[in-house]
Copies of this chain bind each other. A is one copy, B any other.
């Protein structure tokens, strides 16, 4: 049996992958907090809050969404802090940045890096985001690195199209 599978679908902005993908490969999201501590990054109340939200969020968050949720816990937290924390996590390679094919404007979405890369498929009709992991993707990455000599640090594979459901209800 080939090792590839749709690992999650969700209307609107997709639920993040976790647990077991169809083929048995386990998708996990290592603890951001732990990694930050290991690296001796100074932790503030705001960072703890934001990191926890990103880590636990069941959906892809953009900066504004992250701020909105954070404000429920800390009314005074500022946009700038959100952006600065996102920058910090990006620099440490702990989160991935997505466009989701700009299905909802030019914002960026973030998710805690998983142990295994996966790609995002966005439906132009209904806005559903589907996550997809496969061994073919892993192989392609290796091939690209080997043949180009590139040392790959980040990979982003995004697809836009029409999902199965929307194809059927041909409206």
- Please report A residues at the B interface, Cβ cutoff 8 Å: 4-6, 97, 99, 101-102, 106, 119, 121, 123-124, 130, 132, 134, 136-137, 139-141, 143-145, 147-164, 167
Contacts and interface: CB of A to CB of B under 8 A. Distances in A.
A156 B157 contact: yes
B164 A4 contact: no
Contacts of A4: 143, 147
Number of copies: 2
16 contacts: A6-B147, A101-B156, A106-B106, A121-B144, A121-B150, A124-B153, A134-B140, A134-B144, A140-B140, A141-B159, A144-B159, A151-B162, A152-B161, A153-B160, A154-B160, A157-B158
Contact of A136 (B106, B124, B136, B148): B136
A151 to B, nearest CB: 4
Contact of A150 (B102, B152, B162): B162
B149 A164 contact: yes
A61 B102 CA distance: 19
A-B pairs, top 5 by smallest CB distance, nearest first, are: A149-B164, A154-B160, A152-B161, A153-B161, A151-B162
Nearest to A144: B132
B136 A140 contact: yes
